[in-house]
Amino acid sequence: MNPRVLIFSSLAFLLAPVAAFAPHGIVPLVVAAAVFSLADKRVRQGLLTKNQPVFLWLLVLAILWALITAAWTYEPMRALRLAGSLTALLAAARTLAAAAGLLESEERNVLAKYFLLAGAALAALLLFENATNGPITRLFHDFPGKMDDHMPSLNPGAAILAVLAWPLVMAAARWRGWRWGILVLAVVAVAVFMARTKTPIIALFLSVLLFPVLAAGGRKAVRVFGALAAGFLIAAPFIYRFLLFPVAAQGEAQAKIIRSMPTLEQRTWIWRFVVERIEQHPFLGWGLDASRFIEGGHEPMKGYDGRMFPESLPLHPHNGFLQIWLELGGVGAVLIAVALAALLFAIGKTSGNAKMAAAFFAMAVTYLVIGQVSFGVWQNWWLATAILSTSLCLMMSTSDGKKR
């Protein structure tokens, strides 16, 4: 068996249990796969060529800027360690992309079956756990001296499955056709819907709505929506200020809707706090990893009707774009926005046809939407999920044996 096939097969074999019960384990899986891929001479040659994608260099510049911001962040050593992990993940992403791009047609077909089985196993585990109050999950969370609700620990697995939905659709389409892809999407949607968190199913639903538009519009539509995504990142603080600040002042109808959903209400007030802090340092930001230490972040927050929340900013803003602005400022936001646009533009070039490009972009939409209300933008397992999903999309959509 080709070493590249063995590496990706091992990823598929371990994916379901790791994603369901130990989502942080996605990081060592991805990094180990990248390291073992370096044993392939063709992969190493691909990494050493001068013709590297533009977005890669832009992301390198963004990491360099993040390193610079460590000079004024609250905990410089933490920031430096985080920058190191981001660098390692970027290297892993480039390596896996190169390895995926070198696979031959038959190897891709075999791996399509393996990852479909992995996706089915993950969906089955999440369905079983959410339907039966998580008996397996409870084994890892219920023990003497620890009293908590173990079910939310399944939420990251639901998010991972939602992001993997479109790569799995592409795998099914490559293996048996797009009708099978629709069936796979339906199964994944049911499993994601059963989770306690509703953000992944909302993100997946939005990507499903967008898919036919992208498929019909072809690569031009992908480029347009890519530019819109980058524009949203650049304009994020202004958009959230416009949407959120009138709520408390005169938007009683909006406030009534938000009050009916405590989680959304808490997010709303967190984002208001973050926008105010962004406006204090709009150009340079507060520094990498400053979110968890920022002034006033650990003070109680008062919502509507006197409802109190324990912290104004718990660990991170639960909004990827705002976190980029808060920590890296406008300089970092522009660098990452341009890199995001270049990456999304590249989707149309690397995909085999319009439907594959649309599915690839739909995966990105799912990931970005979840990232706007959940998780920290620098969380390694969340970034590793993006790396794995992107590698699978490249594996299922690109032409055979091409260097990436």
pLDDT by residue (tens digit) across 104-121? 999 999 999 999 999 999
115-129, 184-198, 254-268, 295-309: which range is least confident on average? Answer: 254-268
Spatial neighbors of 373 by CB under 8 A, at least 6 apart, are 199, 267, 318, 319
Indicate the Cα dihedral angle 81, 141, 314, 163, nearest 10°: 70
3-state secondary structure of 75: coil
Q: What is the pLDDT of residue 55?
A: 93
Residue 399 DSSP class: P
Over residues 331-354, mean pLDDT: 87
Which of 205, 227, 225 shows the shortest CA–CA distance to 216?
225
Q: Provide the sign of the torsion angle of the four alpha carbons 95, 96, 97, 102, taken in this order.
A: positive
Q: What is the pLDDT of residue 147?
A: 42
Tens digit of each residue's pLDDT (9 = 90 or more) over 12-23 = 999 999 999 999
Indicate if the pLDDT at residue 149 is higher than 70: no
Residue reference for tokens 């709303």: 268
Tens digit of each residue's pLDDT (9 = 90 or more) over 25-61 = 999 999 999 999 999 999 999 898 878 899 999 999 9
Give the pLDDT band of residue 137 (cuts 50, 70, 90).
confident
Looking at per-residue pLDDT, the higher value among 358 and 252 belongs to 358
CB-based contact 196:151 (threshold 8 Å) = yes
Q: Provide the sign of the torsion angle of the four alpha carbons 15, 163, 139, 145, taken in this order.
A: positive
Amino acid at position 399, single letter: S
Indicate if the pLDDT at residue 82 is higher than 70: yes
Give the pLDDT band of residue 261 (cuts 50, 70, 90).
low
Q: How far is the CA of 203 from the CAs of 116, 167, 239, 364, in angstroms?
A: 21, 15, 19, 10
Looking at per-residue pLDDT, the higher value among 383 and 198 belongs to 383
Q: Please give the Cα distance from 152 to 2 (Å, whole number).
A: 39
Indicate if the pLDDT at residue 250 is higher than 50: no
Quick one: tokens of 153? 């620990």
Q: What is the pLDDT of residue 251?
A: 53
Q: Where are the alpha helices (DSSP H) in 38-154?
A: 41-48, 54-69, 76-101, 105-131, 135-141
Indicate if the pLDDT at residue 403 is higher than 50: no
Indicate if the pLDDT at residue 258 is higher than 70: no
Q: Please give the Cα distance from 296 to 274 (Å, whole number).
A: 10
Quick one: tokens of 235? 């304009």
* Average pLDDT, rounded, for the chain: 88
Q: What is the pLDDT of residue 204?
A: 97
Over residues 341-355, mean pLDDT: 81
Looking at per-residue pLDDT, the higher value among 251 and 190 belongs to 190
Length of the chain: 404
Looking at per-residue pLDDT, the higher value among 146 and 329 belongs to 329
Amino acid at position 204, single letter: L
Quick one: tokens of 11? 């990823």
Indicate if the pLDDT at residue 227 is higher than 50: yes
Q: What is the pLDDT of residue 255?
A: 59
